[in-house]
A and B are shown apart, each in its own frame.
Chain A
């Protein structure tokens, strides 16, 4: 075997993580098999019909910009990247009459630990993102867009480039799309290993060819974005939801989920479950059911805790999680956030100090260094958790951790500071006895830790 053949043996087929038939009413992952990602396959699944409907090429009158935005508002689609901001409302902030260039950006810089859904959308259904972006560009009167893709998934970036070429060749991108007077150019860009570029203004800086240090807001990207021009940024999964909404209507999308939490959502379930993977289910599905789709807690162990929305979201103990439904409002009410929909499951063999140790190291490593509370504070958090874990903790350390976290949260330009502080505070809040035990006994309270 040559080198390429050796490496090819280990490429994921998606069989375990997407093509497992354990989705519930999927829209984005529906009818995929790993090889049917090309334009002709997407069209056979009804792809680009939404675009034809918008442009009036399906025998109908077409949709105006206002009608598209109104439909997305009605759908109650909320941003799938982490913040959960209403997408239609965001689109309405775009100054459509602005005379100069405007930009549309897709945030595919999926680096929030636990999250691996956008990679599989782009790998196995890239045209759904392209179609969603074309419709968004139409609605906001934008002629140029970029999809900024996580550098670590370079193969997926190459796949997306291939899909773009197909779309251009078919007249779906470029000048006068499908013979209409609408023009939209879309390009792919990639990161190269900086978590911070998932933050939208850090991403814009990176797209401008700089280090990805976030910008102070306001001004918001809608008025001062890429190259200082009005810019709308949405997550990959958000764009991927749009074609279904246009085809079936906003109300139908709400009915897929629950009020204020429309549609389906892809949850990336990782950690201590039998079958880690991505599961597309209606918003409002119970956590218990999602856990069951992932095969339950592995090896018959008991559920201890769940980090429900990516590593930045506050951890919740099993008792709270088992009563939760998976939607923005329910998880917020329970004291955490749905974030990117990355569900990290921890079983009863896990030491929470050790788990936090790894997360705190991550935030220290990825702090961009721009704001003092984050640059210094993430180092403090990491070092203090580390010494507790390694048996050198002091009794004053627990108070110190809370104090440092308080001095970071809300005091930085972007949310990375909050993302570093929130897991610390939540771990202490829910699992204080484990931290106290570690300090007092210089060892772990959870004997079965593997």
Chain B
């Protein structure tokens, strides 16, 4: 259910830790699963548990503790907009409001076409770049004025149509 490429990445992560501490790789393995499958299902937790020799519940403890793991399927593009105080002072809230309006969804909702999930989030650690937004846990987008947000959403939609 996961690719050979992801399994190779698992092995690379496990190799960082002592042989009797494979569990240390659990966060990286769950991240790799999410990057490939979009979210972490109970089946994926079982797979990671088997791979690392952990109890599935111990893996679930990790999935459910860290904010960035998707415990349910999300849209193809997960948009996390920081609204913490430094961003609130520099239009983080405005960016969130603009996206709600543009996408027609509320916080934690997914557009009907399954393309976008919008989530308010806590500090991304890029406060001077506000408004900031993280796309699919990886691409940090900086200085996201309303114009740039439009450019991003329209650009992603156009890329989808092409593919």
> What are 7 pairs between A and B in contact, CB < 8 Å?
A12-B129, A12-B140, A12-B142, A153-B125, A227-B18, A311-B123, A366-B122
- The one of B66, B83, B86, B135 in contact with A114, judged by C-beta atoms closer than 8 angstroms, is B86
Given A116-B127, A271-B89, A346-B89, do A192 and B31 touch, yes or no (CB 8 Å)?
A: yes
Which chain A residues lie closer than 8 Å to B135 at the CB level?
7
Q: Are B18 and A116 in contact (CB under 8 A)?
A: no
Q: Which residue of B lies closest to A350 (CB)?
A: B89
Q: Which of A17-39 contact B (CB under 8 A)?
A: 17
Closest 5 CB pairs of A and B: A193-B67, A209-B23, A193-B68, A10-B141, A211-B65
B positions within 8 Å CB-CB of A: 16-18, 21, 23-28, 30-31, 52, 54, 58, 61-62, 65-69, 83-86, 88-90, 121-130, 134-135, 137-144, 148, 151-152, 155-156, 158-159, 162-163
CB proximity of B34 to chain A, nearest CB, Å: 9
Q: Which residue of A lies closest to B62 (CB)?
A: A211
Q: Which residue of B lies closest to A112 (CB)?
A: B123
CB proximity of A144 to chain B, nearest CB, Å: 8
Q: Is A190 an interface residue (CB 8 A)?
A: yes
Which chain A residues lie closer than 8 Å to B141 at the CB level?
7, 10-11
Q: Which residue of A lies closest to B126 (CB)?
A: A116
Q: Mark A207-236, 1 if CB is under 8 A from B, else 0.
A: 111111000000000000001000000000
Q: Which residue of A lies closest to B156 (CB)?
A: A6
Bound form: Cα–Cα A107–B76 in Å:
32
- The one of B27, B86, B123, B144 in contact with A111, judged by C-beta atoms closer than 8 angstroms, is B123
Q: Which of A324-381 contact B (CB under 8 A)?
A: 342, 344-346, 350, 355, 358-359, 362, 365-366, 368
Which chain B residues lie closer than 8 Å to A153 at the CB level?
124-126, 140
Given A153-B140, A192-B66, A311-B84, do A277 and B128 touch, yes or no (CB 8 Å)?
A: yes
Q: Which of A264-293 contact B (CB under 8 A)?
A: 268-272, 276-278
Q: Are B148 and A113 in contact (CB under 8 A)?
A: no
Q: Are B142 and A113 in contact (CB under 8 A)?
A: no
Q: Are B68 and A270 in contact (CB under 8 A)?
A: no
Q: Are B16 and A271 in contact (CB under 8 A)?
A: no
Given A6-B156, A359-B85, do A276 and B130 touch, yes or no (CB 8 Å)?
A: yes
Q: Are A362 and B84 in contact (CB under 8 A)?
A: yes
Bound form: Cα–Cα A357–B9 in Å:
42
Bound form: Cα–Cα A392–B163 in Å:
51
CB proximity of A281 to chain B, nearest CB, Å: 15
Which chain B residues lie closer than 8 Å to A248 at the CB level?
none
Bound form: Cα–Cα A1–B160 in Å:
10
Which chain A residues lie closer than 8 Å to B58 at the CB level?
209-210
CB proximity of A328 to chain B, nearest CB, Å: 21
Size class of the contact patch on chain A: 35 or more
Q: Which residue of B lies closest to A161 (CB)?
A: B12
Which chain A residues lie closer than 8 Å to B62 at the CB level?
209-211
Which chain B residues lie closer than 8 Å to A382 at the CB level?
none
Q: Is A2 an interface residue (CB 8 A)?
A: yes
Q: Are A155 and B139 in contact (CB under 8 A)?
A: yes
Q: Which residue of B lies closest to A423 (CB)?
A: B85
Q: Are B139 and A10 in contact (CB under 8 A)?
A: yes
CB proximity of B148 to chain A, nearest CB, Å: 6
Given A151-B137, A342-B127, do A208 and B31 touch, yes or no (CB 8 Å)?
A: no
Which chain B residues lie closer than 8 Å to A151 at the CB level?
27, 31, 66, 68, 137
Given A190-B28, A192-B31, A209-B24, do A110 and B86 touch, yes or no (CB 8 Å)?
A: no
- The one of A6, A189, A268, A272 in contact with B152, judged by C-beta atoms closer than 8 angstroms, is A6
Which chain B residues lie closer than 8 Å to A76 at the CB level?
none
Bound form: Cα–Cα A138–B102 in Å:
55
Which chain A residues lie closer than 8 Å to B23 at the CB level?
208-210
Q: Are A6 and B31 in contact (CB under 8 A)?
A: no
Which chain B residues lie closer than 8 Å to A112 at the CB level?
123
Which chain A residues lie closer than 8 Å to B88 at the CB level?
355, 358
Q: Is A448 an interface residue (CB 8 A)?
A: no
Bound form: Cα–Cα A53–B126 in Å:
35
Q: Is A119 an interface residue (CB 8 A)?
A: yes
- For B21, B122, B141, which residue has the most chain A Cβ atoms within 10 angstroms? B122
Q: Are B137 and A10 in contact (CB under 8 A)?
A: no
- The one of A187, A190, A194, A269 in contact with B31, judged by C-beta atoms closer than 8 angstroms, is A190
Q: Are B159 and A1 in contact (CB under 8 A)?
A: yes
Q: Is A437 an interface residue (CB 8 A)?
A: no
Apart from A115-B127, A362-B84, A362-B123, list 10 A-B contacts with CB within 8 A: A2-B159, A6-B152, A6-B155, A16-B143, A110-B125, A153-B140, A194-B65, A208-B23, A209-B23, A311-B123
Bound form: Cα–Cα A365–B65 in Å:
11
Bound form: Cα–Cα A207–B83 in Å:
28
Given A206-B27, A270-B90, do A358 and B84 touch, yes or no (CB 8 Å)?
A: yes
Q: Is A3 an interface residue (CB 8 A)?
A: yes
- The one of A113, A154, A210, A272 in contact with B137, judged by C-beta atoms closer than 8 angstroms, is A154
Q: Are A113 and B67 in contact (CB under 8 A)?
A: no
CB proximity of B151 to chain A, nearest CB, Å: 7
Q: Is A435 an interface residue (CB 8 A)?
A: no
CB proximity of B163 to chain A, nearest CB, Å: 8
Q: Are B27 and A155 in contact (CB under 8 A)?
A: no
Q: Are B86 and A192 in contact (CB under 8 A)?
A: no
Given A192-B67, A207-B24, A209-B26, do A154 and B138 touch, yes or no (CB 8 Å)?
A: yes
Q: Which of A149-191 contact B (CB under 8 A)?
A: 150-155, 187-191
